[in-house]
Amino acid sequence: MDQELTASVRTRFAPSPTGMMHVGNLRTALYAYLLAKSKGGSFILRIEDTDRTRMVDQAVEVIYKTLDAAGLKHDEGPDVGGPCGPYVQSERQAAGIYMKYAKMLVEKGAAYYCFCDKADPLEESHEPEEASFSAGYNGHCRNLPQEEVSANLAAGKPFVIRQKINREGSTTYQDAVFGEITIKNDVLDDQILIKRDGFPTYNFANVVDDHLMGITHVVRGAEYLSSTPKYNMLYEAFGWTIPVYVHLPLIMGRDAEGNVAKLSKRHGSVSFENLCAEGYLPEAIVNYIALLGWNPKNEREIFSLPELVEAFNISGLNKASAIFDYEKLAWLNGEYIRKMTPAQLGVLIAPYTHLQGTRFEPVMEQLAALLQPRLSKLSEAGEKLAFLLQCPDYGPDLFFNKKNKVNAESSREILSIMIPRLSELKVWNAATINDAITACASERSCKYLSVMLPLLFAVSGLKATPGGASDLMALLGREESLARLETALAKLS
């Protein structure tokens, strides 16, 4: 029971290659990783491709890429090898591993061959063969005479292998997060271990592989809480040690109507790749999901992966499910963006700016510096910088700011004064431009903003911009800036 005494912790992440990586799955991987690493143990990757109908091309690559981007380096797995291979269940199936153990179970009387057809009316029947069958399969083949089984097998009749559940009493187990869980055995059904196609089900492959791979802590979603007794019966039938269970609270999403449900597509981007494509940084995503269901027992919120490893503890795991909050993710992402250097940010925003190949590409770092405090995700860089290439269309009403007494009339006046002055500047940079603005304001005994705002509006065509008038004019250059000021003056006259 005392995990501290466990010689070497081994956890695994066992995804199915069915497409993109859901953040819920990624969080499971993260916690499995953190648990192992915080104890100096091993983190194993196992591919669970036993459902051939759900296989998606390239999905295994997606898994590798995602784990890599998230920084969750596995110690053993299909691509890096290890002592417990193969790490792909279809390969293990081909090696006959699951069938071997299933037959062992049949011999022990803990499983049986079932010849019922998928659509067999007997299976559909609500009249169970045994009175105690309250759920699932009706038990038709549960006690088939040995001769009949042999005859069917000899005749090559298709079969599945089912677990023979002892329906008496109840099963109690200890979960590291949820504590003691007790389930009445009569609600457990004779689940299928080996499918008609010879592949194992998750329920069986998991137990066999977790044991064979020496997994000490099974980290998985809370949806397995009620089926865990079935796994324990398997472990017991084999005489294997039951691992420590670490069931995780589910991650929920809120849809447009405000209903809470398991996080899914309709709640927005929920795959790691989509989130990244939208401009959330992998480090921020990892940091955010780490806090969804776990807390460090203090008020700290920003953690790098190594810091998470350092701080992680099972006791910080929560029981209640959590709702994925894009706003908080965005805030955290902004924090990460602000921590970078402008040069680093420049590289990251470049693809989003539509400025590559333009005269602005060489000043990407400057642009990044301006954007840095204004970005919550990289994808926002595009819209925020669009005005550089083309000044948005606007009307005279853009020139209005009550507090600083800016209106169309005052703006026309300011522009007509400032255009000649600016065009006479010997040196065109933010400092000289700013000096010109300051000088004008002091001459007129008016506020700096009364002069600056009309210029800002004229040069950007926007009410809110990622920089002040002098910054933007410096970026746009003398020619373009003056042209925009002239255009504005014309519109106001």
Beta bridge partner(s), residue 480: none
Residue 110 or 248 with smaller CB distance to RNA: 248
| Interstrand relation of 322-323 and 251-254 (parallel, antiparallel or unpaired) | parallel
* 210 touching RNA, by CB under 7 A: no
Can residue 168 be called a binding residue for RNA (CB under 7 A)?
no
Instruction: Tell me if 95 contacts RNA by CB under 7 A.
Output: no
Residue 322 CB, nearest approach to RNA (Å):
3
Contacting RNA within 108-127 (CB under 7 A)? 114, 116-118
Compute the distance between CA of residue 231 and CA of residue 215 in angstroms, rounded to an integer.
14
- Nearer to RNA by Cβ, of 206 and 216: the residue is 206
Contact between 251 and 292 under an 8 Å Cβ cutoff? The reply is yes
**Lookup result for tokens 């980290």:** 219
Residue 56: CA atoms inside 13 Å, Cβ hemisphere, count? 12
Beta bridge partners of 294: 317
Beta strands in 190-312 (DSSP E): 192-194, 217-221, 244-248, 251-254, 260-262
For residue 299, the SS3 value is coil
Q: Does 450 bind RNA (CB under 7 A)?
A: no
Catalytic residue flag (residue 463): no
- Please state, in angstroms and rounded to a whole number, the distance separating the CA atoms of residues 44 and 73: 9
Decide if residue 184 touches RNA (CB under 7 A). yes
Smallest gap from residue 231 Cβ to RNA (A) = 10
The distance of Cα 213 from the centroid of its chain, to the nearest Å, equals: 26
Pick the binder of RNA from 83, 145, 169, 179 (CB under 7 A). 179
Minimum distance, C-beta of residue 291 to RNA, in the bound complex (Å): 5
Show contacts with RNA in window 64-93 (CB under 7 A). none
Question: How many binding residues for RNA (CB under 7 A)?
Answer: 89
Q: Is 468 in the site for RNA (CB under 7 A)?
A: yes
Q: What φ, ψ does residue 268 adopt, rounded to 5°? A: 110, -160
Contact pattern from residue 218 through residue 257 relative to RNA, giving x for each residue in contact according to CB under 7 A and a dash for the rest:
----xxxxxx---------------------xx-x-----
| Tokens representing residue 12 in the block | 């695994």
Does residue 478 interact with RNA by CB under 7 A? no
- 372 touches 337 (CB < 8 A): yes
Residue 486 in the binding site for RNA (CB under 7 A): no
Nearest to RNA of 196, 421 (CB atom): 196
- Mark 35-64 with x for binding to RNA (rule: CB under 7 A) and - for no binding: -------------x-xx-xx----------
When binding is defined by CB under 7 A, the residue of 203, 313, 423, 487 that contacts RNA is 203
Q: Which of 151, 439, 463, 477 binds RNA (CB under 7 A)?
A: 463
Structure-token match 């000899």, residue found: 154
Which member of 108, 157, 265, 463 is catalytic? 265
Say if residues 207 and 231 touch (Cβ distance below 8 Å). Answer: yes
Contact assessment for residue 450 and residue 399, using Cβ atoms and an 8 Å cutoff: no
Rule CB under 7 A: say whether 135 interacts with RNA. Answer: yes
466 binds RNA (CB under 7 A): yes
User: Rule CB under 7 A: which of 366-385 touch RNA?
Assistant: 373-374
Q: Does 396 bind RNA (CB under 7 A)?
A: no
Angstrom distance (rounded) from CA 287 to CA 70 = 10
Interface with RNA (CB under 7 A), residue from 76, 189, 283, 380:
189
Told to check if 425 binds RNA by CB under 7 A, we report no
Q: Shortest distance, CB of residue 376 to RNA, whole angstroms?
A: 7
Nearer to RNA, 191 or 353 (CB): 191
- Segment 253 to 312, residues that bind RNA, using CB under 7 A: 259-262, 291-293, 295, 297, 299, 301
Asked if residue 169 binds RNA (CB under 7 A), the reply is no
Closest distance of CB 357 from RNA, Å:
26
What distance in Å separates the CA atoms of residue 217 and residue 202, rounded to the nearest whole number? Answer: 17
* Distance between CA atoms of residues 138 and 142, nearest Å: 9
Among positions 313-342, residues that touch RNA (CB under 7 A) are 315-316, 318-323, 325, 327-328, 330-331, 334-335, 338
CA distances from 6 to 36, 48, 53, 315, 367 (A): 11, 26, 39, 16, 52
Measured CA distances, 29 to 193, 263, 289 (Å): 25, 17, 11
Residue 23 beta carbon to RNA: minimum distance, rounded to whole angstroms: 13
Nearest CB to RNA, comparing residues 197 and 356: 197
Contact between 137 and RNA by CB under 7 A: the answer reads yes
List 97, 244, 452, 459, residue binding RNA (CB under 7 A): 452
Asked whether position 434 contacts RNA by CB under 7 A, the answer is yes
Q: Number of C-alpha atoms within 13 angstroms, CB side, residue 285?
A: 29
- We find the least distance from the C-beta atom of residue 16 to RNA, in angstroms, to be 4
The type of residue at 364 is M
Question: E-assigned strands of 222-354?
Answer: 244-248, 251-254, 260-262, 322-323
Helix and strand counts by DSSP (H, E) for the chain: 20, 12
Q: Candidates 419, 465, 476, 484: give the one binding RNA (CB under 7 A).
A: 465
Q: What's the CA gap between 85 and 105, in Å, rounded?
A: 23
Give the catalytic positions in this structure. 265
